[in-house]
Chain A
Amino acid sequence: MTEHKKQTIIPIGPYHPLQEEPEFFKLYVEGEKVHKLDIELGYNHRGIEKISESKHFDQVAFAVERICGICSTSHPFAYVNAVEDLAGIGVNDRIKYIRSIIGEMERLHSHLLWLGLAGHFIGYNTVWMWVWKYREPLLDLFEFITGNRQHYAMFKIGGVRLDIANNDIPRIRKMCDDLIPAIDLFRGAVMDDPVIQSRAKGIGTLTKKEAIDYCAVGPIARASGIDIDIRRDNPYAAYGMVEWKVITRHSGDVFDKIVVRILEMYESIKIIKGCLKGLEKEPEGNIDLKIKNIPAGEGIGRHEAPRGEVFHYVRSDGSNRPVRHKIRAPSFMNVATNQITTTRGTVSDAAITLGAVDPCYCCTERCVVIDKKTNKKILSGKDLIRLCQEKTREISGKLNKKIE
């Protein structure tokens, strides 16, 4: 009698309590062991690159903000870097400092948010409630500086929208000081807790070689021992002007991914404090260079988002709109690493392993047509846009009938 192996498919998604966003994972399971993982993306595709071609340069900064809510500063940050690269604009120090402060505050809020959700994924809701409680003062500060809790809309080409008054600086500094004991608390709670250690240590391991093969970026790469950080490797804004260091760990398991993010929060606070020191010396006002014309040409912009490197490419033909706007988000690389990491564990670990990359699918969803045999792109950007419009009209007609 031959042994007949039975495979069960466990679907996670599209609507699943684990996920904020609709995404579909198929776990092929033998007994308890995960054998294979299928990732199906596309539930979140909204065609942002195409939309951004229909907006003028100033509007795009606010449109790309709507790609993702959690890292809603990183896309405008990379976009203004790209346009300023295109037009050859150099901004003054005050603008640089304010941009870096907002970028780092966002990293703090994003890492706190993820830490809470990680606790939620492993069923440790106390961590979730704690962390989100201490995240609120940070959101209050965002509201105080920018007027919004989320979607800060601070970035514009050649400047920032709002200034940080010099007499508000002590308040920001106090918030940073208040946050340090809270992060100490999480560090103690997470790193010394036997429950979290047993759920996270040695789970979902990604080795250094695999991280390189999958082009992992951000905290995922740094937890596997790859020392990359755009802020240090290719300094922009004020990151080259303040003291801080890149955090790396070596084993690449879920525990290290948690530790990297917790320790990065201390560095973010260090950067914010350094920037505030610089900001005090700069005269107030003077936060907008009032750029009128964007010349023809192309530019790239990069930013180290909380999840890794964001890449924006902008091409202009001298008109007031980008002709092409290409976005590559960090989760696009990081989500693929799930294919290795989940197959090393059981079903019960799949939740935290999938969650550990801090996935952000709304950033990730792009569209490319590829020939399966040769792996070549068979359609140019123009073809794709034309096809999209035709197909959409056709399918949308059918779909409307079906729904009614």
Chain B
Amino acid sequence: MNKLILKALTKSINVYHAACSPCNNCDIEILDCLTPRYDLERFGMTLVGSIRHADAMLVTGVPNMKTAKRIKLVYEQMPKPAVVIAIGSCACGGNLFRNSYNFVKPLDEIIPVNAYVTGCPPKPEAMIMGVVKLIKALKAG
């Protein structure tokens, strides 16, 4: 990856949070990362309202019949290069919903996923750890 692009991507990440049928828990914990206890904003990370401003997309929940198409649409609108992080066991592999009739297929078969943070729900520390590991991996090439 170009040096300039890499610097732009790994510093002050703008995060967009897209949920495809979650149970809300991972979503709460994502918001929790931004509040005073964990305060991700000190690293310049902010939650943005539009996917077109985002560097990273956090996806929670299992893709179901209605959201699978839409999550792909949302991903296509994100300016590249960008990263996708699957938050929670549901997004990583379906959790107990993998046998549901409304489950389409795992998230990483719909859009490319760069990092997985497992747990039901993962703690905010785990999410921060995931992002740090991803940045290190990107920098290493």
Residue numbers of A with Cβ under 8 A of B are: 14-15, 17, 20-22, 42-48, 50-51, 54, 63, 66-70, 72, 113, 116, 128-129, 132-133, 136, 149-151, 360, 362, 388-389, 392, 395-396, 399-400, 402-403
Contacts and interface: CB of A to CB of B under 8 A. Distances in A.
Contacts of A392: 65, 101-102
B26 interface: yes
Contacts of A129: 35-36
A300 to B, nearest CB: 24
Contacts of B100: 46-48, 50-51
A362 B66 contact: no
A20 B20 CA distance: 10
B43 to A, nearest CB: 17
Nearest to B111: A403
18 contacts: A14-B67, A15-B74, A20-B22, A20-B31, A21-B19, A22-B66, A43-B67, A45-B66, A46-B21, A47-B103, A69-B27, A128-B35, A129-B35, A132-B32, A136-B37, A149-B121, A388-B101, A400-B104
A400 B68 CA distance: 10
A156 to B, nearest CB: 17
A377 to B, nearest CB: 19
Interface size class of B (residues with CB under 8 A): 35 or more
Nearest to B27: A20
Contact of B70 (A14, A128, A362, A395): A14
Contacts of A150: 25, 28-29, 121
A46 B66 CA distance: 10
Contacts of B36: 129, 132-133, 136
A259 to B, nearest CB: 23
A210 B29 CA distance: 35
B20 A22 contact: yes
A204 B19 CA distance: 27
B120 interface: yes
For the complex of A and B, 3 pairs with smallest distance between CB atoms:
A69-B25, A17-B49, A132-B35
Contacts of B26: 69
A138 B62 CA distance: 28
A51 B97 contact: yes
Contacts of A395: 65
A136 B23 CA distance: 20
B22 A362 contact: yes
A403 B27 CA distance: 25
B59 to A, nearest CB: 11
Given A14-B67, A51-B99, A395-B65, A133 B21 contact: no
Nearest to B105: A400
Contacts of B11: none
B110 interface: yes
Contacts of A63: 96
A392 B65 CA distance: 9
Contact of B72 (A17, A22, A403): A403
Given A132-B35, A388-B101, A43 B21 contact: yes
Contacts of A69: 22-28, 121
B51 interface: yes
Contacts of A151: 25, 120-121
A360 B25 contact: no
B100 to A, nearest CB: 4
Given A15-B70, A22-B66, 14 more contacts: A14-B70, A15-B74, A17-B49, A20-B31, A22-B18, A46-B103, A50-B101, A51-B99, A66-B97, A69-B25, A132-B32, A149-B123, A151-B25, A362-B22
A21 B69 contact: no
B118 interface: no
A403 B110 contact: yes
A21 B102 CA distance: 17
A45 B121 contact: no
B95 interface: yes
A47 B70 contact: no
Nearest to B102: A47
Contact of A43 (B66, B97, B105): B66
Given A15-B51, A150-B29, A20 B102 contact: no
Nearest to B32: A132
Given A43-B66, A399-B68, A54 B99 contact: yes
B96 A66 contact: yes
A22 B21 CA distance: 7
Which of B18, B49, B99, B100 has the most A CB atoms < 10 Å from its CB? B100
B67 A362 contact: no
B25 A21 contact: no
B27 A21 contact: yes
A70 B121 CA distance: 12
Contacts of A44: 21-22, 61, 64
Contacts of B68: 399, 403
B113 to A, nearest CB: 14
A46 B70 contact: no
